[in-house]
Amino acid sequence: TVGCVVVDREGRCAAATSTGGLMNKMSGRIGDSPLIGAGTYACELCGVSCTGEGEAIIRGTLARDVAAVMEYKGLELQEAVDFVIKERLDEGKAGLIAVSNKGEVAFGFNCNGMFRGCATEDGFMEVAIW
Amino acid sequence: MGGWAIAVHGGAGVDPNLPPERQEQAKQLLNRCLNLGISALRSNFSAIDVVELVVRELETDPLFNSGRGSALTTKGTVEMEASIMDGPKRRCGAVSGLTTVKNPISLARLVMEKSPHSYIAFSGAEEFAKEQGVELVENEYFVTEENLGMLKLAKEANTILFDYRIPTVGLESCSVGAAAMDNPLLMNGLPIRVYAPE
């Protein structure tokens, strides 16, 4: 699975996710990536793209939950990501990336690694795996 | 109002023994995609255009599990899915079950912009792709030697490979075996207990 989240200079957020799914999956299986609110979500506040065990991400409506705890609990972006990764995945293993309309970028994962990269207009840039 | 920001990912759950050269390859692709997005943002592209542009690049490179280089079904074929969402009006588009569309993310965007729906799948999505004139290729284009090898491994292990914590029954501590024996029912090739909350 691959994904990208962006907030532009006007503060508009967007998210995109694309995948081949799981190796040796049953034909016709649908994972979290195309399900809006599970693997992908964007609203006024943030943009989120998830990856990992699709069935766990779907059950946790992971991407929407990041936006929901920002909206209803008033959490900042990284707090919201940490909360959702910690509280919504049960035994599932997953990761996600997110941006906020304030120009913040965040990520979180509860498995051993996630291929990721992030950058902000003030010059921050990071590419990492573990 | 803050400035622009961008993040990309290539998947979670990494082989702990991933060779250093593969790690370097992955970092180079992530860097290339970040820089592609950054220069688009500096040229005042909108967020929705940038996410589509970057994911197209990731789908075209066979390194990660999407587009070319996608994971294989149990039949050894590729069935791809994608979705895109634009924050300001929460518009969205999604596709599943694609077998010939070179860049699934662009078809997802066309679903968002050129159809009355949010999600179109399988044969309907393929028909829509033909109507919209997106680039189509044979399913073989998406299949890589490496993934054929991974599929063989997954079949031998009678499981699905999405991360490296799949409990190997019998080989490890008997508790794992016992637990699995207690509840031998498998779902997607994994002991059902993995999905216990379900």
Higher local confidence (pLDDT), B64 or B166: B64
State both tokens at A68.
Answer: 């929901």
As beta bridge partners, residue B191 has: B186
State both tokens at B157.
Answer: 């292990």
Q: Using 50, 70 and 90 to split pLDDT, how confident is the model at B187?
A: low
Question: What is the rounded average pLDDT of the residues B93-105?
Answer: 98
Question: What is the rounded average pLDDT of the residues A112-126?
Answer: 97
| Position B190 pLDDT exceeds 70 | no
Question: How high does pLDDT run on average in chain B?
Answer: 86
Residue that is written with structure tokens 């028909």 in the block: B127
Contact between B59 and A18 under an 8 Å Cβ cutoff? The reply is yes
Contact with chain A for residue B27, Cβ under 8 A: yes
Question: What is the rounded average pLDDT of the residues B93-111?
Answer: 98
Q: Give the pLDDT confidence score for residue B166 in this predicted structure.
A: 34
| Position B48 pLDDT exceeds 90 | yes
Give Cα A9 distance to the centre of its chain.
21
Give the side-chain half-sphere CA count within 13 A for B87: 29
- Reading phi first (left if > 0) and then psi (alpha if -120 to 50, else beta), residue B59 is in alpha
- Residue B19: Cβ-neighbour burial (10 angstroms; 0-12, 13-18, 19+): exposed
CB contact under 8 Å between A112 and B164, yes or no, is yes
CB contact under 8 Å between B7 and A99, yes or no, is yes
Contact with chain A for residue B192, Cβ under 8 A: no
DSSP E strands in A8-93: the ranges are 13-19, 40-42, 46-52
Contacting A residues, span 80-109, partner chain B, CB-CB under 8 Å: 90-91, 93-107, 109
Residue that is written with structure tokens 């662009």 in the block: B106
Q: How many CB atoms lie within 10 A of CB B24?
A: 11
Q: How many CB atoms lie within 10 A of CB B14?
A: 22
Phi, psi angle pair for B50, to nearest 5°: -70, -45
Nearest CB to A51: which of B12, B104, B150? B12
Q: Using 50, 70 and 90 to split pLDDT, how confident is the model at B157?
A: confident
**3-class state of residue B146 by DSSP:** helix
| Position B197 pLDDT exceeds 70 | no
Q: Give the pLDDT confidence score for residue B2 in this predicted structure.
A: 82
Q: Which of B85, B96, B165 to mutate to test the interface with A (most CBs of A within 10 A)?
A: B85
Q: Give the pLDDT confidence score for residue B16 in this predicted structure.
A: 87
Cα–Cα distance, A84 to A86 (Å, whole number):
5
ipTM score here?
0.98
Q: Of the candidates B43, B116, B47, B128, which has an alpha carbon nearest to the alpha carbon of residue B84?
A: B47
| % pLDDT > 90, chain A | 97
Q: Give the pLDDT confidence score for residue B64 in this predicted structure.
A: 96
Q: Using 50, 70 and 90 to split pLDDT, how confident is the model at B170?
A: very low
CB contact under 8 Å between B44 and A9, yes or no, is yes
User: What tens digit of pLDDT does each residue of A51-103 get?
Assistant: 999 989 999 999 999 999 999 999 999 999 999 999 999 889 999 999 999 99
Q: Using 50, 70 and 90 to split pLDDT, how confident is the model at A20?
A: very high
